[in-house]
């Protein structure tokens, strides 16, 4: 036997909606408004117990030594909708800014600016990346145009830049102490360089130390293609050896080394010394051989700081 209702499946949603609407109206009728005063509110106000006790004049004043104008009320500013503390968000933003790229800029004599950006990628192996750029500003007046041409040999300064990356790794036991790897690419000049150096420090006495270093590098130079002649790449392999004696008490260091490259095909020797004056200011001088047979002499002084 089969039973059926007179409403059918199409009327079931209407019945469910009517039932839900009736339940909501009944529930609202049972809810007391949250701000409606109780019926006996007037009686409670008349009772003596409801009257607040007046403060005693002999009680100590906890706000006596506190300057209300100097209180940091922003610490109580918390977004109730999101639960975000603005002070904590500000601290996170400041920490992100400290960990971000480090920018520096210096003005050149020809009107351009030397801009450097660098950032630590990972504390593992002390890996860092950066870029060294020369940014030339566009002259806005004819006097600026003439001044830039006069200070740049009749030509306008051009913008250029190179990207680099460095990493410092530990050595191999007693053979060497530190391994440094450096790579640099200059797209504008079509130059690139990758090199590595091995360093070994040997203490001679309490205030004297000998540092031995071997370096190896590959320099690549590309030539631009001209009509009828295609461009090609020239590679130069170079190695250098140096010994450095450092006197800690006096801030003096003496260096002797030699360099060999595939373009010179002979060892070029060099001797130099460096004296620290105060803080990071040093004076250095060197005497070295050149591939043409002449002696190259130089004396420099400047500010040196490593990061």
Minimum mean pLDDT among 44-53, 167-176, 241-250, 265-274: which range?
A: 44-53
pLDDT of residue 99: 63
* Ranges assigned E (strand) in the chain: 102-107, 113-122, 127-135, 160-170, 178-186, 191-203, 208-222, 233-247, 252-261, 268-278, 281-289, 295-303
pLDDT of residue 98: 59
pLDDT surpassing 60 at residue 83: no
Confidence of residue 5 (pLDDT cuts 50, 70, 90): very low
The residue-averaged pLDDT of 49-73 equals 59
pLDDT, tens digit, 9 for 90 and up, residues 178-213: 999 999 999 888 899 999 999 999 988 888 999 999
Can you tell me the distance from the alpha carbon of 241 to that of 260, in angstroms, rounded to the nearest whole number?
A: 9
| Contact residues for 87 (Cβ-Cβ < 8 A; gap 6+) | 74, 75, 77
Q: Are 284 and 301 in contact (CB under 8 A)?
A: yes
pLDDT of residue 29: 44
The residue-averaged pLDDT of 290-302 equals 87
pLDDT, tens digit, 9 for 90 and up, residues 103-142: 888 887 766 788 899 888 877 778 999 999 988 777 778 8
DSSP letters of 220-261? Answer: EEE---BTTB---EEEEEEEEEEEEEEETTTTEEEEEEEEEE
Can you tell me the distance from the alpha carbon of 161 to that of 164, in angstroms, rounded to the nearest whole number?
A: 10
Can you tell me the distance from the alpha carbon of 305 to that of 307, in angstroms, rounded to the nearest whole number?
A: 7
pLDDT of residue 239: 95
Of 236, 177, 167, 234, which is closest to residue 201 (Cα–Cα)?
177
How far, CA to CA in Å, does 96 sit from each of 103, 119, 128? 15, 12, 17
Exposure class string for 2-30: b at 16+ Cβ within 10 A, else e: eeeeeeeeeeeeeeeeeeeeeeeeeeeee
Longest dimension (CA), the chain: 120
């Amino acid at each position: 036997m089969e039973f059926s209702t007179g409403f059918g499946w199409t009327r079931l949603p209407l019945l469910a909606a009517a039932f839900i609407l009736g339940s909501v109206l009944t529930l609202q009728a049972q809810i007391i408004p949250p701000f409606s005063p109780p019926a006996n509110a007037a009686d409670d106000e008349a009772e003596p117990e409801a009257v607040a006790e007046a403060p005693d004049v002999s009680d100590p004043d906890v706000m006596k030594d506190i300057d209300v104008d100097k209180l940091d009320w922003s610490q109580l500013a918390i977004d109730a909708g999101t639960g975000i503390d603005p002070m904590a968000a500000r601290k996170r933003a400041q920490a992100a800014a400290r960990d971000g790229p480090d920018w520096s800029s210096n003005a050149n004599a020809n009107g351009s600016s030397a801009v450097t950006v660098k950032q630590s990628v990972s504390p593992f192996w002390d890996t860092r990346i950066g870029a060294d750029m020369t940014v030339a500003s566009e002259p806005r007046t004819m006097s600026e145009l003439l001044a830039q041409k006069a200070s740049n040999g009749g030509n306008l300064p051009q913008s250029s830049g190179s990207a680099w990356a460095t990493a410092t790794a530990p050595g191999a036991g007693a053979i060497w102490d530190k391994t440094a790897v450096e790579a640099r690419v200059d797209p504008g000049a079509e130059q690139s360089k990758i090199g590595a150096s091995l360093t070994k420090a040997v203490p001679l006495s309490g205030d004297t130390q000998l540092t031995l270093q071997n370096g190896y590098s590959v320099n690549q130079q590309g030539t631009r293609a001209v009509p009828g002649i295609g461009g090609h790449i020239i590679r130069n392999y170079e190695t250098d050896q140096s010994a450095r004696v450092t006197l800690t008490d006096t801030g003096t260091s003496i260096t002797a080394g030699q360099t060999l490259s595939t373009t010179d095909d002979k060892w070029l020797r060099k001797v130099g010394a460096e004296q620290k004056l105060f803080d990071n200011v040093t004076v250095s001088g060197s005497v070295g051989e050149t591939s043409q047979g002449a002696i190259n002499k130089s004396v420099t002084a400047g500010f040196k700081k490593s990061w």
